[in-house]
Amino acid sequence: MARRTPLNEAHRRLGGRMVDFVGWDMPVQYSSVITEHEAVRNAVGLFDVSHMGEIEFTGPGALETANKLITNDLSRCADGQAVYAGLLNEQGCFVDDVVAYRFSPERILVVVNASNKDKDFAWMQSHAEGVKPVDRSDDYAQIAVQGPKAVGLVQRLTPVDVSKVGTYRFTEGQVAGVQCIISRTGYTGEDGFELYCAPGEAEKLWEALLKEGQQDGVKPCGLGARDSLRTEMKYALYGNDIDDQHTALEAGLGWICKLDKAGGFIGRDVLAKQKAEGVKRKLVGFELTGAGIPRHGYPILKDGQRVGEVTSGTMGPSVKKPIGIGYVPAELAAEGSTFDVEIRGRPVSAVVVKTPFWKKS
Amino acid sequence: MAGSNPSNLKYTKEHEWARVEGNRVVVGVTSHAQEALGDVVFVELPKVGATVTSGKQFGVIESTKAVSELYSPLSGKVVKVNDALTDNPQTINTDPYGAGWIIELEPSDSKELDGLMDASAYENLLKNS
């Protein structure tokens, strides 16, 4: 039976259409994907992301241990700062993408994808030199509050001055009387917070956000809107756009890989070599100029030959165009390059465009 | 949505409807189908003049998350397609039995109509599914 987050009953009461998502019973939508997507772009939306995993390193050496496992550099962060990073294998390809939180040099929390949690934990256990990781996933529920009205909504529920929490910074405090990690992060392209709390308090927090957010037009949002929002930003989804077959540089995520950091990281040398030699394939964003919608797994063709593959695609609700992400040979990666996407046996023309697909006006 | 399916239509178990208009038949998808699909974002229509076969695929309907096949309730020739769906596929969500129609057919064997369900049989199918 699929696992349930502490908000499962709340989703059902709200009429969420529940689906099995990597072994979790999660809402794909409540009203409509497009309505929820637009709520996040124009007002505020709530996402239950409690299925994400949390792995903690605590004690002397926590920072050094965790920092060697991730590609980004926590030693350059202040306490109260978070970074987006990769966990890479020896080939420079992704074990997962994560957000690492630096509470102090003796407490680092790494948030991982639900689908990869057990794999990541085992990988960290075997590669951690020093402090051993602890799986804290059952100790945290997580609610993402995203959209232009997110800051105002959270502010009305907390004595903490959240306007002072900068992007990719976090603090701790009560929201609606619930003790939370209040993190100015998210994966929608909008401003907002990710609130971590004890599972037993998640429903109280969720209900308070829904009630207080009525005046903002808050909507509970499902996995469908989460996917279309992140696709419009060309944010990578593990298992689609990034995986253990493509390197971080091929994925365009060289910026989260600090090749020069002290102590290095697993996969670093492959990336350094690849950086010097140039990558042979790249993850690009494209628009379809013909009719159709690109989907994960569709072939990318050039002159009738298969040269790549679509990794994500959708009809972008905000950009109002069929957009996609996919790997193509480096010579086809420049903006304006054209190729075809094979949709049900038919080549449909596409052009590489600048990303993110969607920008705030 | 049991009870909301017009009684003057015929239905398939794949959730298409057929409305007889003289010697032609208009085809669309049911309200239950559009609700299950979610936001419709693309419809791949057949060409006017194409031949379709009862129970076989004649087009594709895509929602934000899924790609689904459209099956013809009857055999015959496509005489009209709803081109307005190209720009406004969501009409299928808002008006599945009206402006959200998909194709118009000239059936080759009107006896095939007898093989389709009436509204109450369709509603029973929904109740039991």
pLDDT tens digits, B25-80:
999 999 999 999 999 999 999 999 999 999 999 999 999 978 999 999 999 999 99
Query: In chain B, what is the straight-line distance between the N-terminal and C-terminal CA atoms, in Å?
Result: 12
Q: In what order do the strands lie in the sheet containing B10-11?
A: B10-11, B16-21, B24-29, B103-107, B76-81, B51-52
pLDDT digits (tens, 9 = 90+) for B86-102: 999 999 999 999 999 99
What count of CB pairs under 8 Å joins A to B?
39
Q: Which of B64, B67, B86 sits opposite A224 (nearest CB)?
A: B64
Residue reference for tokens 């050039």 = A302
Per-residue pLDDT band at B3 (split at 50, 70, 90): low
Chain B residues in contact with A322 (beta carbon < 8 A): 42
Interface test with B, best of A21, A31, A34, A231 (most B CBs within 10 A): A34
Structural contact between residues A112 and A135, judged by C-beta atoms closer than 8 angstroms = no
Please give the sequence-ordered ranges of beta strands (E in DSSP) within chain A, or none if there are none. Answer: 17-21, 24-29, 45-48, 53-58, 81-88, 94-104, 107-112, 134-135, 141-146, 170-175, 178-183, 192-197, 219-221, 281-288, 299-302, 305-316, 321-329, 338-343, 346-352
Mean pLDDT by 10 residues, chain A (361 residues): 95 97 96 97 98 98 98 98 98 98 98 98 97 98 98 98 98 98 98 98 98 98 98 98 98 98 96 97 98 97 98 97 98 98 97 96 71
Does the CB of A143 have a partner CB in chain B at under 8 Å? no
Q: Which of B39, B42, B86 sits opposite A33 (nearest CB)?
A: B39
- Report A:2-21 residues touching B (Cβ under 8 A): 17
In this structure, the number of other CB atoms found within 10 A of the CB of residue B85 comes to: 24
Q: Which residue, A17, A41, A14, is CA-closest to A28?
A: A17
- Pairing type for strands B76-81 and A94-104 reads unpaired
Interface test with A, best of B34, B35, B39 (most A CBs within 10 A): B39
Chain B residues in contact with A29 (beta carbon < 8 A): 38
Q: Which of B42, B65, B90 sits opposite A224 (nearest CB)?
A: B65
* Structure confidence at residue A230 (pLDDT): 98
Amino acid at A200: G
Q: Which of A17, A227, A315 sits opposite B42 (nearest CB)?
A: A315
Interface contact B64-A344, CB threshold 8 A = no
Does the CB of A222 have a partner CB in chain B at under 8 Å? no
Residue reference for tokens 């670093």 = A268
- Report B:23-62 residues touching A (Cβ under 8 A): 38-39, 41-42, 44, 60, 62
* Structure confidence at residue B128 (pLDDT): 87
Beta bridge partners of A24: A3, A21
* Dist CA B18 CA B8 (whole Å): 9
Q: Which of A33, A291, A344 sits opposite B65 (nearest CB)?
A: A33
- Pairing type for strands A45-48 and A219-221 reads parallel
CB contact set of A249 (below 8 Å; sequence gap of 6+)? A92, A257, A271, A274, A275, A279
Q: Which residue, A114, A299, A145, A139, is CA-closest to A218?
A: A145
* Dist CA A4 CA A181 (whole Å): 22
Q: How many CA atoms lie within 13 A of A186 on its CB side?
A: 32
Interface test with A, best of B43, B60, B64, B70 (most A CBs within 10 A): B64
Chain A residues in contact with B39 (beta carbon < 8 A): 32-34
Interface test with B, best of A31, A32, A229, A312 (most B CBs within 10 A): A32
Q: Residue count of chain A, please give it.
A: 361
Structural contact between residues A323 and A314, judged by C-beta atoms closer than 8 angstroms = yes
CB contact set of B114 (below 8 Å; sequence gap of 6+)? none
Interface contact B38-A322, CB threshold 8 A = no
* Dist CA A255 CA A240 (whole Å): 20
Does the CB of A318 have a partner CB in chain B at under 8 Å? no
Does the CB of B86 have a partner CB in chain A at under 8 Å? yes
Chain A residues in contact with B44 (beta carbon < 8 A): 291-292, 344
Does the CB of B67 have a partner CB in chain A at under 8 Å? yes
Does the CB of A344 have a partner CB in chain B at under 8 Å? yes
Interface test with A, best of B34, B41, B42, B63 (most A CBs within 10 A): B41
Q: Which residue, B102, B120, B104, is CA-closest to B20?
A: B104
Q: Residue count of chain B, please give it.
A: 129
| Farthest-apart Cα atoms in chain A, separation | 61
Tokens of A325: 């992400």
Written as one string, the DSSP assignment of B67-127 is EEEEE-SS-EEEEEE-THHHH-TTHHHH-TTTTT--EEEEES-GGGGGGSB-HHHHHHHHH
pLDDT digits (tens, 9 = 90+) for A172-186: 999 999 999 999 999
Does the CB of B14 have a partner CB in chain A at under 8 Å? no
Chain A residues in contact with B32 (beta carbon < 8 A): none
Beta bridge partners of A254: none
* Dist CA A318 CA A160 (whole Å): 32
Q: How many CA atoms lie within 13 A of A222 on its CB side?
A: 28
* B1 pLDDT above the threshold of 60: no
* B2 pLDDT above the threshold of 50: no
